[in-house]
Amino acid sequence: MTNNNTANTGLKVALGIAIALFIGLAIFSSSLYKNKVTTEKQLTEEKVMVLKDLNAMSAQYEVAMSESKDVNQNLVEAKAEIDELINSLKKSEANLKNLMSYRNKYNALKKEMDIVLAENDELKVRNTLLASSLDSTKVQLEERTMFTDSLLSQNTELANVVLNASVLNTLNLKGYGVIERSSGKLIPTERARRSDKIRVCFTVAKNKLVEAGDKELYVQVIDPKNNILGANEQITFGEETLNYSVISKFNYEDANLDVCEFITSKEDKDFEEGRYRVNVFNGADLVSSSQFTLK
């Protein structure tokens, strides 16, 4: 009789433990499901926000294009690039890695948009002032200089927005032609035919989330005819392919670092006159963009 009581007690204890474990598992599963739903909701909301920002940017280009009698080709190309990114984002999976990549691309395109729209506004002003006197032309050139300084300041402020990401970013990206003396001295120039090389300089921004050590960024210089200058070699990152002008290699020591690279013209040909674009990539991600003109 005692053995039967003991067995019954054991069964009751085992049953109680099983029920407790089942309840605990149910609560844990419910918590995991709620967390998953919350995360998916946040990612979906972030995707909607990025799409909203990109659509707003596309609309700004649309307005700028509608205000110009002669549509600036730079506006057309920039808007097409944004629309392509919008279509890509709509089809992409809403995960943290993808959204961070699209947000970084949006920030880079935002900086480029400021430059392209500013350039379009400037072209409209210049067309209006073609019939003006020499004094008016002088005033326009002074305003252009002030405007360029303002753009550089804006680029610095916009670059600070992405400093907390766990990748290296760049500030103060500049490209310009240089004359190289036999002594090695470099003289900046805006003249295409006098330029021996194109110099690209930028500051690698300090980032506490990046470990010190040997690093590399990819510099891409595109001439007015959309040719990639320099090495024009290709590298693949997953499904993405990048053509670059030069690989910038440096030792990062958890501090701001100034870096300059040189691009030469192939076959000793003169550089083309017109607008040049300079892009810096961290892997497949565009981290900064700038423009300059050779006359």
Q: Are 277 and 294 in contact (CB under 8 A)?
A: no
CATH number at residue 211: 2.60.40.10
Region 56-67: mean pLDDT is 75
Could you give the number of structural domains in the chain?
A: 2
Q: Where does 44-147 show beta strands of DSSP type E?
A: none
What pLDDT, on a 0 to 100 scale, did the predictor assign at position 249? 95
Distance of alpha carbon 287 from its chain centroid, rounded?
4
Residues 38 and 123 in one domain: yes
Residues 85 and 185 in one domain: no
> What is d(CA 47, CA 54) in angstroms, rounded to the nearest whole number?
11
Q: Which of the four pLDDT bands, split at 50, 70 and 90, describes residue 283? A: very high
Q: Is residue 9 part of a domain?
A: yes
3-state class (DSSP) for residue 137: helix
Taking only the tens place, the pLDDT of each residue in 156-189 is: 555 444 444 568 889 999 999 999 998 889 999 9
3-state class (DSSP) for residue 49: helix
Lowest average pLDDT, out of 77-81, 147-151, 255-259, goes to 147-151
Q: Which of the four pLDDT bands, split at 50, 70 and 90, describes residue 133? A: low
Region 114-120: mean pLDDT is 71
Residues 194 and 95 in one domain: no
pLDDT of residue 118 exceeding 80, the answer is no
Using only C-alpha atoms, the chain has a radius of gyration, in whole angstroms, of 28
What's the domain range around 65?
A: 1-128
> What is d(CA 291, CA 118) in angstroms, rounded to the nearest whole number?
12
User: What are the angstrom distances between the C-alpha of 186 and each of 76, 132, 180, 189, 278?
Assistant: 36, 37, 5, 10, 20
Region 89-95: mean pLDDT is 67
Q: Is residue 238 part of a domain?
A: yes
Q: Is residue 2 part of a domain?
A: yes
pLDDT of residue 20 exceeding 70, the answer is no
Residues 82 and 18 in one domain: yes
Residues 104 and 231 in one domain: no
> What is d(CA 184, CA 270) in angstroms, rounded to the nearest whole number?
20
Q: Which of the four pLDDT bands, split at 50, 70 and 90, describes residue 262? A: very high
Residues 118 and 217 in one domain: no
Q: Is residue 152 part of a domain?
A: no
Residues 260 and 182 in one domain: yes
User: What are the angstrom distances between the C-alpha of 1 and each of 6, 9, 14, 218?
Assistant: 9, 12, 20, 84
Q: Which of the four pLDDT bands, split at 50, 70 and 90, describes residue 95? A: low
Please list, residue by residue across 182-220, b when 16 or more beta carbons sit within 10 angstroms of its beta carbon and e when fewer do: eeeeeeebeebeebbbbbbebbbbbbeebeeeebebbbb
Q: Which of the four pLDDT bands, split at 50, 70 and 90, describes residue 6? A: low
Residues 175 and 278 in one domain: yes
What pLDDT, on a 0 to 100 scale, did the predictor assign at position 160? 47
Q: Is residue 204 part of a domain?
A: yes
Among residues 78, 108, 128, the one where a domain terminates is 128
> What is d(CA 252, CA 95) in angstroms, rounded to the nearest whole number?
30
Residues 226 and 286 in one domain: yes
> What is d(CA 64, CA 280) in angstroms, rounded to the nearest whole number?
27
